[in-house]
């Protein structure tokens, strides 16, 4: 018999956390015994429960513990089990696989916060003169001999706080909204962006080329130039079509003013890429006065941190595009530090890639004309994402109006 004592603390009755955890244990095929239970006497006094989890084998115990931890269960008072990485780029067998929720590990009787939390990584523990340090690292960062947390013992995960009833997002729920009042939703997004900036946190914008195709680029530009956006993630396409628009007035060869495809217009994007390659890059093109407007130009002028990540179908690409996906992930990982709100607009791949890197504490909005993108993102563990199904041009126009003033 394999057992582990877990404790639950907080408003676990009103939030139904206790019922949920017991349900999860039953569903996971393990048994339990409630060892102690103290109910808070008033609404604001927390309750406390100790539960012994009893499993037929170690594997189902670990699986059950891993599940309940994500809902706030703390496993005993054991220290985390640390094992060295057997070789570069490989975690030790049985490594603890992270979620994007705030996580702590217990080492020498102290709970240490895990830095740079993101999902599907390992927890590397190091010791320096000031004490122990725990950080979340992707597989390829592991170096032979690095110490990693193995198993669920000594790991605590803070569940997402329940959304307050009066929260601006309450009416949106976590569902993908199709038939909700759009203008009110944009107002809620604007409020979140404003509050994030006021707190001194960064605003991340992840965008796809549809922003340019639909004529929404000027609204995004306005947001960037006004200082609302700190970090931009995109691919070769957004940057290319934005630059094509500035240099030729077309997006994928279609004149944005008239909506009519231009003769030889299909060549414009490649000519645009060539021009930027000749200049040496986007920043150089801006400095040389070759690129005088658009989203990418605005980013250079406003000092926005840009990461362009490449893909297999890219033309060119622009010299600024990082074509090694692992390197691109690392650049994104670096750039999401300090981000408080993420806006993911009209892009599937980059949204998912970014969702993978973000802690659950980052308020995430996914805006797409297609509900599938939003569903994909939430299915992959970015439960904090609010989905808004709408045209990106409408969304960006309204958002710019809310944040910069109507013009």
Partner 1 sequence: MARVLMCPPDHYDLRYEINAWMHLENKPDLPLAVQQWQRLYEQVQRLAQVELVSPAPECPDMVFTANAGLIVGEKRVLLSRFRHPERQPEEPHFRRWFEEHGYTVYTMPEDCPFEGEGDILWAGERYLAGYRKRTEMCAHRIAAEYLQHEVLSLELVDDRWYHLDTALFVLDEHTVVYYPGAFDPYARRVIEEHYNTLYVIQEEALRFACNSVVLGNTVLMPEGCWLLKSLLERKGYEVIPVPMTEFIKSGGACKCLVMFLER
CB of residue 296 vs partner 1: minimum separation in angstroms? 12
Dihedral, CA of residue 358, residue 361, residue 365 and residue 366, to nearest 10: 40
Residue that is written with structure tokens 């992707």 in the block: 138
Q: Which is nearer to partner 1, 113 or 227 (CB)?
A: 227
Among the residue ranges 80-88, 94-102, 151-159, 290-298, the one whose residues contact partner 1 (CB under 8 A): 290-298
Query: Could you give the string, one character per residue 203-222, with x where binding to partner 1 holds by CB under 8 A and - elsewhere?
Result: -------------------x
Dihedral, CA of residue 372, residue 375, residue 380 and residue 382, to nearest 10: 130
Peptide bond just before 124 cis, omega within 30 deg: no
Rg of the chain (C-alpha set): 24
CB of residue 182 vs partner 1: minimum separation in angstroms? 22
Q: Which is nearer to partner 1, 222 or 333 (CB)?
A: 222
- Residue 302 binds partner 1 (CB under 8 A): yes
Q: Which is nearer to partner 1, 230 or 320 (CB)?
A: 230
Q: Which is nearer to partner 1, 143 or 199 (CB)?
A: 199
Q: From residue 362, give the alpha-carbon distance in Å to each of 118, 201, 338, 386.
A: 11, 10, 9, 11
CB of residue 239 vs partner 1: minimum separation in angstroms? 18
How many binding residues for partner 1 (CB under 8 A)?
A: 22
Pick the binder of partner 1 from 22, 160, 255, 404 (CB under 8 A): 404
Q: Which is nearer to partner 1, 142 or 306 (CB)?
A: 306
Among the residue ranges 32-40, 50-58, 149-157, 286-294, the one whose residues contact partner 1 (CB under 8 A): 286-294
- Spatial contact of 96 and 123, defined as CB atoms under 8 Å apart: yes
- Spatial contact of 353 and 330, defined as CB atoms under 8 Å apart: no
Query: Could you give the string, one character per residue 223-262, with x where binding to partner 1 holds by CB under 8 A and - elsewhere?
Result: --xxxx-x--------------------------------
At residue 223's C-alpha, the angle toward residues 339 and 185, to 5°, is: 75
Q: Which is nearer to partner 1, 11 or 283 (CB)?
A: 283
Report which of 384, 403, 399 is spatially closest to residue 211, judged by C-alpha positions. 399
Q: From residue 19, give the alpha-carbon distance in Å to each of 10, 51, 83, 222.
A: 13, 12, 34, 49
- Beta bridge pairs of residue 205: 232, 343
Among the residue ranges 24-32, 100-108, 339-347, 397-405, the one whose residues contact partner 1 (CB under 8 A): 397-405
- Residue 3's Cβ-side half-sphere holds a number of Cα atoms within 13 Å equal to 11
Pick the binder of partner 1 from 128, 164, 303, 313 (CB under 8 A): 303
Q: Which is nearer to partner 1, 376 or 397 (CB)?
A: 397
- Residue 293 binds partner 1 (CB under 8 A): yes
Q: Which is nearer to partner 1, 161 or 405 (CB)?
A: 405
3-state helix, strand, coil in the chain (%, to 5): 35, 25, 40
Q: Which is nearer to partner 1, 293 or 381 (CB)?
A: 293
Q: From residue 341, give the alpha-carbon distance in Å to each of 81, 231, 308, 314.
A: 34, 11, 19, 28
Report which of 254, 256, 278, 272 is spatially closest to residue 264, judged by C-alpha positions. 254
Report which of 117, 153, 109 is spatially closest to residue 134, judged by C-alpha positions. 117
**Torsional sign, CA 27, 387, 96, 108:** negative
**Torsional sign, CA 394, 398, 404, 407:** positive
Q: Which is nearer to partner 1, 155 or 231 (CB)?
A: 231
CB of residue 293 vs partner 1: minimum separation in angstroms? 7
CB of residue 225 vs partner 1: minimum separation in angstroms? 4
Among the residue ranges 118-126, 235-243, 297-305, 376-384, the one whose residues contact partner 1 (CB under 8 A): 297-305
Pick the binder of partner 1 from 1, 41, 43, 198 (CB under 8 A): 198
- Residue 286 binds partner 1 (CB under 8 A): yes
Binding site for partner 1 (CB under 8 A): 197-198, 200, 222, 225-228, 230, 286, 292-293, 297, 300-303, 403-407
């Amino acid at each position: 018999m394999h057992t582990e004592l877990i404790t639950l603390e907080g408003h676990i009755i009103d939030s139904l956390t206790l019922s949920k955890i017991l349900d999860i244990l039953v569903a996971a095929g393990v048994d339990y015994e409630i060892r102690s239970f103290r109910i808070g006497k008033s609404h604001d006094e927390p309750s406390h429960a100790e539960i012994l989890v009893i499993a037929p084998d170690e594997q189902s115990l670990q699986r059950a513990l891993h599940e309940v931890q994500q809902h706030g269960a703390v496993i005993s008072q054991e220290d985390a089990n640390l094992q060295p990485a057997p070789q570069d780029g490989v975690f030790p067998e049985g490594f603890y696989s992270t979620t994007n929720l705030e996580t702590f590990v217990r080492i020498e009787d102290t709970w240490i916060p895990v830095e740079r939390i993101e999902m599907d990584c390992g927890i590397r523990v190091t010791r320096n003169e000031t004490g122990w340090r725990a950080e979340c690292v992707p597989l390829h960062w592991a170096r032979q001999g690095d110490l990693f947390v193995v198993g669920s013992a000594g790991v605590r995960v803070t569940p997402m706080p329940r959304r307050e009833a009066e929260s601006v997002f309450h009416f949106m729920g976590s569902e993908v909204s199709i038939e909700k009042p759009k203008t009110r939703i944009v107002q809620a997004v604007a409020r979140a962006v404003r509050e994030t900036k006021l707190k001194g946190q960064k605003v991340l914008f992840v965008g796809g080329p549809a922003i340019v195709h639909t004529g929404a680029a000027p609204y995004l530009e306005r947001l960037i130039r006004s200082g609302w956006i700190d970090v931009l993630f995109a691919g070769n396409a957004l940057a290319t079509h934005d630059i094509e628009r500035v240099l030729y007035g077309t997006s994928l060869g279609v004149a944005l003013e008239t909506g009519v495809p231009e003769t030889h217009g299909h060549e414009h994007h490649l000519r645009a890429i060539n021009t930027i390659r000749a200049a040496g890059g986007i920043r150089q093109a801006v400095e040389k006065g070759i690129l005088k407007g658009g989203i990418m130009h605005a980013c250079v002028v406003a000092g926005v941190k840009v990461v362009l990540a490449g893909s297999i179908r890219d033309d060119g690409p622009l010299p600024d595009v990082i074509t090694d996906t692992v390197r691109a992930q690392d650049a994104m990982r670096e750039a999401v530090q300090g981000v408080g709100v993420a806006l993911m607009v009209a892009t599937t791949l980059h949204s998912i890639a970014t969702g993978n890197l973000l802690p659950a504490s980052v308020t995430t909005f996914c805006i797409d004309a297609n509900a599938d993108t939003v569903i994909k993102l939430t299915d992959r563990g970015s439960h904090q994402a609010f989905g808004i199904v709408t045209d990106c041009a409408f969304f960006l126009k309204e958002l710019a109006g809310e944040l910069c003033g109507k013009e």
